[in-house]
Amino acid sequence: MTESASEPVGSVSEEAFKLFRALSSSSAEPKSDEPHVCTATWCPVCQVVGLVRDNPDAIAQVSASAAAFAKSLRDLVDSAKPTPPEDEEA
């Protein structure tokens, strides 16, 4: 057995800290300057990166559509606000 296996079980926060420390010191993690190498086709990061890389025009159209949608929502909110009454003393 290793030394960590003979340690008594601590509180939830202590055990979470131990787990975080063990995971952060893992040598299996890629370095920040190394590219992400996907070994599975289900990886959502790889799917999004591949979609953006393969379809830059589609991403531009989605961005333009999102901007138009935000503008129409803004116009809807502006039209729903009540207009302040005008003073008739002039």
Residue 87 pLDDT greater than 90, yes or no: no
Give the side-chain half-sphere CA count within 13 A for 90. 3
Cα–Cα distance measured from residue 90 to residue 44, given in angstroms and rounded to the nearest whole number: 64
Enumerate residues 6+ apart whose C-beta is below 8 A from 18. Answer: 4, 10
DSSP element (H, E) containing 65: helix 56-80
Q: Look at residue 25 in the predicted model and tell me its pLDDT.
A: 59
Q: Look at residue 1 in the predicted model and tell me its pLDDT.
A: 46
Enumerate residues 6+ apart whose C-beta is below 8 A from 69. Answer: none
pTM for the full predicted model: 0.41
pLDDT digits (tens, 9 = 90+) for 26-80: 555 555 666 667 766 778 888 888 888 888 888 889 899 999 999 999 999 988 8
